[in-house]
Chains A and B, each alone.
Chain A
Amino acid sequence: MTAPSIADREFCAAIRGLSVRFGDRQALKGVDIDFPAKRISVLLGRSGSGKTTLLRSFNRLNECFEGYEGTGTVKLGGIAGAPDSLEEVNALPLSRLRRLVGMVFQTPNPLPLSIRKNLLLPLTLVAGLETDEAEEAMKRSLTAVGLWKEVADRLDRPAFSLSGGQRQRLCLARVLALEPEILLLDEPTASLDRLAAAVVEDLILSLKGRYSIVMVSHSLAQAGRLGDFLAVLTDGRVEETMAASALPKGAEAEKFLEKLL
Chain B
Amino acid sequence: MMKRREKFLLCLSWGSGLLICGAVGTLLVFLLARGGPVFGKELFFDSTPPMDALLGLKPVWNGIWPAVMGTFFLLSLTLAFAALPGIGCGVFLACYATPKQKYRLGLAVDLLAGIPSIVMGLFGFVLIVYLRRTVLPNGTTCLLLSSFCLALLVLPSLVVGTRTALETLPRYISLTAAALGFSHGQTVWRLLLPAAGQGILGGLMLALGRAAEDTAVIMLTGVVANAGLPSGLTSKFEALPFRIYYTAAQYATQRELDLGFGAALALLLLSGSLLLCAWGFQRGLERRWRGVR
A interface residues (Cβ-Cβ under 8 A, vs B)? 59, 61, 64, 94-99, 103, 105, 109, 111-114, 116-117, 120-122, 125-126, 156-158, 174-175, 178
Contact = CB atoms under 8 A, between A and B. Distances in A.
22 contacts: A59-B179, A61-B175, A64-B174, A95-B182, A95-B183, A96-B181, A98-B178, A105-B179, A109-B176, A111-B173, A111-B191, A112-B173, A113-B292, A114-B290, A114-B291, A117-B290, A117-B291, A120-B291, A125-B182, A126-B180, A126-B181, A178-B181
A111 B178 CA distance: 12
Contacts, number: 67
B100 interface: no
Interface string B181-213: 111001000110001000000000000000000
A122 B172 contact: no
B175 A64 contact: yes
A187 B182 CA distance: 23
A114 B291 CA distance: 5
Interface residues of B, number: 21
A122 B178 CA distance: 11
B104 interface: no
A113 B291 contact: yes
A64 B291 contact: no
Interface centre among A59, A103, A111, A174 (most CB of B within 10 A): A111
Given A64-B174, A111-B191, A125-B186, A178 B292 contact: no
Contacts of B179: 59, 61, 98, 103, 105
B289 interface: yes
A99 to B, nearest CB: 5
A122 B182 contact: yes
A156 B292 contact: yes
B293 interface: yes
Nearest to A118: B291
Contacts of A117: 290-291
Nearest to A65: B175
Contacts of A158: 290, 292
Given A97-B181, A112-B195, A112-B290, 11 more contacts: A64-B178, A94-B183, A98-B178, A98-B181, A113-B291, A114-B291, A116-B291, A126-B181, A126-B182, A156-B291, A156-B292
A120 B175 CA distance: 18
Contacts of B176: 105, 109, 111
A125 B183 CA distance: 9
A98 to B, nearest CB: 4
